[in-house]
Amino acid sequence: MNMPEYDPVPLVAPERLSAPVMLTRAKAHLDLMRQRRTVRDFSSEFVDPAVIEACVSTAGSAPSGANHQPWHFVCVSDPATKRAIREAAEREEEAFYGGKAGDAWLQDIDPLGTNASKPFLEEAPWLIAVFAERYGVNDAGQKRKHYYVPESVGIATGFLISALHNVGLATLTHTPNPMKFLNEILERPSRERPYVLLVVGHPSSSATVPRAAGVKKPLETISSFI
Ligand code: IYR
């Protein structure tokens, strides 16, 4: 088989910052990211596809196992496709809230105020369905093994959420369960597993968010320094 060889090139290093500038920038980024909230009330205001393209390209720059980039992003603005996704998602959510979830799970999400109704799937200007490729296929149509797929796609999705937040767009990380219907509606092959459905747009002017979801664990709880 034709294996690409190790071919090191000089690193194009980001600018070297002084210690105080590093700290200022770290805190400025923290301030920006702390403003991110998961939003469920979207305006239907237009968002330029070029902005979505740039944010998805940011996601595509993420690190991945063996650099196989085991992801695919389907960006949907077509109203009929959004409607089909809403209808399928609400069918799953009705089963979920109707008993499939179990009492403990429903109690855990009670503070989020969610229910089976998902109008934002039609109202928001963009839905981005993130798919994880279980395996790849090479030019000859043979299977190519992928590595650390959920980790890789999770990192890329994090890049995407922060890129969207950086341009002032709100997101909802939505995971109707199961999400298999996304393969059918979006015509993706079965080797791709739906990973998350991101709802993207401007928040509506009357958007509210659950107080409880804004409470983040303190640094002392989430970290140790040795
Ligand atoms: N997927 C459902 C339920 C839900 C589950 C979790 I875990 C959440 O953090 C929020 C909601 C829904 O979207 O309503």
DSSP letters for 41-110: -B------HHHHHHHHHHHTTS--GGG---EEEEEE--HHHHHHHHHHHHHHHHHIIIIIT-HHHHHHHG
Q: Is the pLDDT of residue 1 over 60?
A: no
Residue 207 beta carbon below 6 angstroms from any ligand 1 atom: no
Nearest residue CA, atom 5 of ligand 1? 109
Q: What per-residue confidence (pLDDT) applies to 38?
A: 98
Pocket perturbation via mutation, ligand 1, pick of 92, 103, 112 by most ligand atoms within 8 A of CB: 112
How far, in Å, from the CA of 168 to the mean position of ligand 1? Answer: 23
For residue 201, the CA-to-ligand 1 centroid distance in Å is 19
Q: What is the mean pLDDT of residues 121-136?
A: 98
CA 205 to chain centre: 23
Distance CA(165)–CA(168), nearest Å, equals 5
Average pLDDT over residues 147-154: 98
Q: Please return the burial class of 60, using the count of CB atoms within 10 Å of its CB with bins 0-12, 13-18 and 19+.
A: middle
Q: How far is the CA of 177 from the centre of ligand 1 (A)?
A: 9
Q: Sorting pLDDT into bands at 50, 70 and 90, what band is 174?
A: very high
Q: Tell me, using a 6 A CB cutoff, whether residue 107 lines ligand 1.
A: no
pLDDT tens by residue, 67-106: 999 999 999 999 999 999 999 999 999 999 999 999 999 9
